[in-house]
Amino acid sequence: MNIRTSLFEQPLDVINLGLASFADNLVLAGGAATQLDWQPPALGDVAAGLDLAWLINHPRVEAANQIAFERYLAAQPALIDVQFARDTLPAMAQRKLILHAGPPIAWADMCGPMQGAIVGAAIFEGWADSVEAATALVEAGQIDVEPCHHHNVVGPMAGIVSPSMPLWVIQNTTNGSFAYCNFNEGLGKVLRFGANGPEVLERLHWMTQELAPTLQAALKVLGPLELKPIMAQALHMGDEVHNRNAAATGLLLKRLVPALLRCGQPADHVQRAIEFIYSNDHFFLNLSMAACKAMTDAASGVPCSSMVTVMARNGVNFGIQVSGTGKRWYQAPANPINGLYFPGYSAADATADLGDSAITETAGVGGFAMASSPAIVKFVGGTPADATQNSRRMQSITLGSNPAFTLPALDFAPTAAGVDIRKVVDSGTLPIINTGIAHKLAGVGQIGAGITTAPMPGFIEAIRALAEQVRLADGGAA
């Protein structure tokens, strides 16, 4: 009997690639079929696929990634001070400048919450006395708007920072560099969701005039506060330090209260500061973001490295930066958010993914650490098993793991860290992000939370750019 005849006398189990309906038809006909979910790398872009194949296991890229990842792991972010933006960001002293979340975007293209927040900041600064006047100033180019990341700053949701606002000052004590973040305003009507009414401005003035000096005085008593240990402990207490910061905020308050009681500020100022932090479970989020910014910035600027150092969203586009290509942005429209909405709201009411807080996932926590926070699924959707699977899946697209951050639910396995654009484009697995959902209209606020991913086109563009850089480093070799 020849091979061909014997083959067709055996039971056949077909492996089907592509449309699942082909496999379904075989099964309905009494056959056996295994559906394999597969798609060409780089969304079928042949040129990008060839660049990708050339970059995989490239000695120059592998060596650069080792350097970048080691710098990320070695970073030790510490909270050292509170300063006002105009005093610590040189550009703020030179011109009317407002910073926003995400990659660059023109005023006319901004989402409603970002425009509303910028207007509120202009009024807060005294540059205008009404929404209409502030809008006219921005439209006339008399107020500049730039991404937070261009100034070593991060901010949640709209991410707005203006000269008079206080900033957390975080120093990477390993290399001496700095990262900054604004203060968390709490929930309700807040600037980061585009609200700009009297209660928002009153709170901002209180934070500037009373809260900031009180916390600044407390930090002088306390001294540098290392943030990685707080984040690590919070992961063991049910946080993932992006959308859940209840434990981390409590740990921070535990460290701050003794210093606040000895800082010499008026007793009523200290009391209000403690009450404000105590009532806001998200207070630590901004510190988590700045700490993550300090860690990923340490890995930035290593020629030929394929490690992602920034992921950020402006409510329209999602942007990434890659270590090997410096501060260049690779952008694509933000992916939809699969989430849970507050009563009365739906996806039709939502703006696109928004905020710099994806810096937490960039650093290996947040969505990458969801296995540590089963309670988060009640907020963003899914099940605890989904959260665990998300953390496991991220191992396939990263350079390694961070032993400083471990996940009890995974037998204290370290979190996946160091997103590698090559692995993302090759596997089709996208970095996962858990996120709040903002209403598309300014000032309405948060209307839900959910899960999203970074869009693939930005990673494909980054592959092309990195390949070009590596070729130049190789002397133009193909």
Residues sharing a CB contact under 8 Å with residue 229, sequence separation 6 or more, in sequence order: none
Q: At what angle do helices 285-297 and 246-261 cross, to 10 degrees?
A: 100
**What pLDDT does residue 13 have?**
78
Q: Mind listing the pLDDT tens digit for each residue in 316-349? A: 999 999 999 999 999 999 998 999 999 999 999 9
What whole-number distance in Å separates Cα of residue 359 and Cα of residue 355?
Answer: 9
**What pLDDT does residue 467 have?**
98
DSSP letters for 392-436: HHGGGGEEEEEEEEEEGGGTTEEEEEEEBHHHHHHH-PPPEEEEE
**What pLDDT does residue 2 have?**
56
Map out the domains of the chain as residue ranges: 3-36, 46-61+301-473, 73-290
**What pLDDT does residue 422 have?**
98
**What pLDDT does residue 476 have?**
72
Structure token digits, residue 460: 């494909």
Q: Mind listing the pLDDT tens digit for each residue in 98-126? A: 999 999 999 999 999 999 999 999 999 99
**What pLDDT does residue 17 have?**
72
CATH fold label, 73-290: Enterococcus faecalis V583 fold (3.90.1710)
Cα angle, residue 90 at apex, residues 86 and 91 outer, rounded to 5°: 90
The secondary structure element, H or E, covering residue 304 is: none
- Residue 166 CA: distances (Å) to CA of 206, 210, 248: 11, 11, 21
> Amino acid identity of 249?
T
**What pLDDT does residue 378 have?**
83
**What pLDDT does residue 5 have?**
58
Q: Is the pTM of this model over 0.75?
A: yes
Top-tier CATH class for 46-61+301-473: alpha beta
Closest CA to 415 of 244, 235, 242: 235
- The 8-class DSSP code of residue 348 comes to G
3-state class (DSSP) for residue 298: coil
Closest CA to 156 of 369, 391, 315, 368: 315
**What pLDDT does residue 187 have?**
87
Structure token digits, residue 193: 């969701």
Cα angle, residue 238 at apex, residues 237 and 242 outer, rounded to 5°: 115
Residues sharing a CB contact under 8 Å with residue 363, sequence separation 6 or more, in sequence order: 72, 291, 292, 295, 296, 417
What whole-number distance in Å separates Cα of residue 171 and Cα of residue 83?
Answer: 13
Question: pLDDT below 70 — which residues of the chain?
Answer: 1-10, 18, 37-38, 477-478
CB 395 within 8 A of CB 433: no
